[in-house]
Amino acid sequence: MKVFGKRTSEGSRQITQKKEKLKNFLKEKGLKSTRQRDLIASEFLKIGEHITAEELYREINKKYSDIGYTTVYRTLKLLNKSGLAAERVFADNLTRYEPLSAEDHHDHLICMKCGSITEFQELKIERLQDRVAEEFGFLAVSHKMELYGYCNKCKDNA
Amino acid sequence: MKVFGKRTSEGSRQITQKKEKLKNFLKEKGLKSTRQRDLIASEFLKIGEHITAEELYREINKKYSDIGYTTVYRTLKLLNKSGLAAERVFADNLTRYEPLSAEDHHDHLICMKCGSITEFQELKIERLQDRVAEEFGFLAVSHKMELYGYCNKCKDNA
DNA sequence: CATCTAATTGAAAATGAATTTCAATTTCCT
DNA sequence: AGGAAATTGAAATTCATTTTCAATTAGATG
Ligand SMILES: [Mn+2]
Ligand SMILES: [Mn+2]
Ligand SMILES: [Zn+2]
Ligand SMILES: [Zn+2]
């Protein structure tokens, strides 16, 4: 099993690369590159966590108080459509975003006490999921798997 | 792998049993048995599907137009707390409820075209999930696993 | 560079499911 | 039957998300 551990913010190399991808996506779709989109994407990629639009907005707002919540919200949607961000909804029913690279599919362990999110990839489970789908003649496109409980830090000192 | 297939509405025997359980729960908690709770529970158990409060309310309302939405909503919460109903939120972000027996944990295949929901149980996956949690020193309490795609009927005539 | 058009922006309003409030009613214990 | 406490249903509220709209901006064209 591959362990991701704590999400580390990406190197500036990858960030530059991703921002290039975004630009291409925008041009392709006849959309425009703007100062706001650029700054929001930069901050989002730099933070690199599972973050809500609201949270990202607060961060952005510290540095760039002229950028509105709506634009942050819309830019996250855009990043999602362009394949640079994944949209996630965990048990608290808030929509979160995380930077996504093409091949890094993973699932989540979510601590019900401290809220920490740990990522994992378990190919054996993925294979079994495909098999289940197959047995039902179901064409699987995506899946969602989340384990809820208490993380290593929280499980003792409850 | 155990196949549940289509959820069949429960026999009147099981329904009676569950309603007994509800009564016990209410008494235990110092809550009251009411005509509304009885009727809502009956209808819910009879329908036996993954249903929203709104949908259940509409059904109830056909027969008992004096029962309000709020009471349906609250009774579903109650059924959940008493262990008779499971609360589920799939990708459409609506809260659904389904009758639940103590030991029938299962996960879901959800058709993105027709919305049909198929249930399955795959113990191998469950075991692997436990192992993943263990590797992280994570104390797993519950999990959520949903496969999204196209059901047998929908995958061809798209 | 100037012009033009379509896209973008940000504030405010709208949406919609979930939840809470509150006065009237009902349950059920004594 | 009496009375305290729980319940009910309509309406109001909450809160994240999404949409609206008038003003601004990007960037294509000449
Ligand atoms: Mn993740
Ligand atoms: Mn189910
Ligand atoms: Zn924790
Ligand atoms: Zn289908």
CATH classification at residue B146: 3.30.1490.190
The DSSP H or E segment spanning B134 is helix B123-135
Residues of A with CB under 8 A from a CB of B: 1, 3, 89, 91, 93, 109, 111-112, 118, 120, 122, 124-125, 128-129, 132-133, 135-152, 155
Examine residue A1 and state whether it is found in any structural domain, yes or no: no
Let me know whether B95 and B24 are in one domain. yes
Sheet harboring A51-52: ordered strands across?
A: A51-52, A95-99, A85-89
In a domain, B18, yes or no: yes
Has residue A37 been placed in a domain? yes
Ligand 3 centroid–CA B126 distance in Å is 22
- Count A/B contacts: CB-CB distance under 8 Å: 123
Same domain, B89 and B131: no
- Looking at the partner chain, which of B1, B93, B112 has a beta carbon nearest the beta carbon of A89? B93
The whole domain housing A86 covers 7-99
Task: Indicate yes or no: CB of B138 within 8 angstroms of CB of A111.
Answer: yes
Residue B2 lies in a domain: no
Of chain B, the end-to-end C-alpha distance in Å amounts to 28
Pair (A42, A59) in one structural domain: yes
Q: Which of B120, B140, B149 shows the shortest C-beta gap to A141? A: B149
* pLDDT tens over chain B, length 158 residues: 655 445 666 778 888 999 999 999 999 999 999 999 999 999 999 999 999 999 999 999 999 999 999 999 999 999 999 999 999 999 999 999 999 987 789 999 999 999 999 999 999 999 999 999 999 999 999 999 999 999 999 998 76
pLDDT of the residue at A8: 63
Question: Alpha helices of chain A — where are they, by DSSP H?
Answer: 12-28, 35-47, 53-63, 69-81, 123-135
**Nearest residue on chain B to A116, alpha-carbon basis:** B138
Last residue of a domain, one of B77, B99, B121: B99
Residue corresponding to tokens 């706001």: A36
Residue among A94, A108, A103, A104 at smallest CA distance from A51: A94
Give yes or no: residues A92 and A117 share one domain: no
Same domain, B59 and B111: no
Two structure tokens written together for A115: 């809220």
For chain B, the domain total comes to: 2
B141 and B93 within one domain? no
pLDDT in tens, A56-87: 999 999 999 999 999 999 999 999 999 999 99
Question: A46 with A121, same domain?
Answer: no
Chain B residue with CA closest to A151: the answer is B138
- Give the predicted TM-score (pTM) of the model: 0.91
